Amino acid sequence: MDHPSPKPPELSLPSAAVKEQLRREYRARRSLLPQAVLSTLSQALVLSLAHWLQAQQARQVLLFYPVQGEVDLRGLAALLPGVTFALPVLSTSGKGMTFAQWSPESPMVVNRYGIPEPRTDRGAVSVSMEPGSVILVPCLALDAYGTRLGYGGGFYDRFLAVHSSVLVMMGVLLSEFLHAGLPREVHDIPLQYAATELGVKLLTPP
């Protein structure tokens, strides 16, 4: 007899500490990955993802700039010249986030978290969230239900809470950081896909 798959654990009050512990563990694991290995796996992921995006006829893709051992997705721009790419731009105050058009030639500025973003004062144009736009979300870890372990700032949580109905939401990470079942809060919006160096996988919502 088949047994139902276990559901991801709901987050109880003390589990915020569990999530913070997981963040420390995954950051430490990721910091041990040699740069040459990360570069090779990033290239494999970019090639696989480019084929998927092309098959989906994606017209707008929301990227993230790689920092702290994240997968480098910038190579997608050369493989998909007809696609509009955009990177996050943080508000100068508060915790808002928008996206602005990006290309490898775009003027960049480093924000308060040390992450490069397009310079809106030098012509970078904010993009609207067109239906079917694909957002590639950085993850410290991701489980089969689409529950994401982020960095704790809540920028993507707030952004997805507003725009999830029109976006194709994909977590991006290396396969070794896929997790069996992450703590989940009621405000967490499950991601629909996982992209790793092994390919793109459809996730099962909780």
Does residue 192 sit within a domain?
yes
Does residue 70 sit within a domain?
yes
Nearest to 46 by CA among 85, 14, 94: 85
Residue 8 has pLDDT above 70, yes or no: no
Residue 2 has pLDDT above 70, yes or no: no
pTM of the model: 0.91
Residue 28 has pLDDT above 50, yes or no: yes
Does residue 7 sit within a domain?
no
Does residue 143 sit within a domain?
yes
Q: For CA atoms 13, 161, 137, 69, give the dihedral sign.
A: negative
Q: What's the domain range around 35?
A: 15-202
Domain count, the chain: 1
The Cα–Cα gap between 205 and 7 comes to: 10
Taking the CB of residue 108, how many other CB atoms lie within 10 A of it?
Answer: 15
CATH of the domain at 72: 3.40.50.10420
Residue 76 has pLDDT above 90, yes or no: yes
The Cα–Cα gap between 101 and 117 comes to: 10
Does residue 3 sit within a domain?
no
SS3 149: strand
What is the tens place of the pLDDT at every residue in 125-161? 999 999 999 999 999 999 999 999 999 888 999 999 9
Among 2-11, 73-82, 88-97, 151-160, the range of highest mean pLDDT:
73-82
Does residue 6 sit within a domain?
no
Q: Reading across the β-sheet that carries 193-196, which strands appear in turn?
A: 97-101, 84-90, 60-62, 133-138, 167-172, 193-196, 199-202
Residue 65 has pLDDT above 80, yes or no: yes
Does residue 176 sit within a domain?
yes
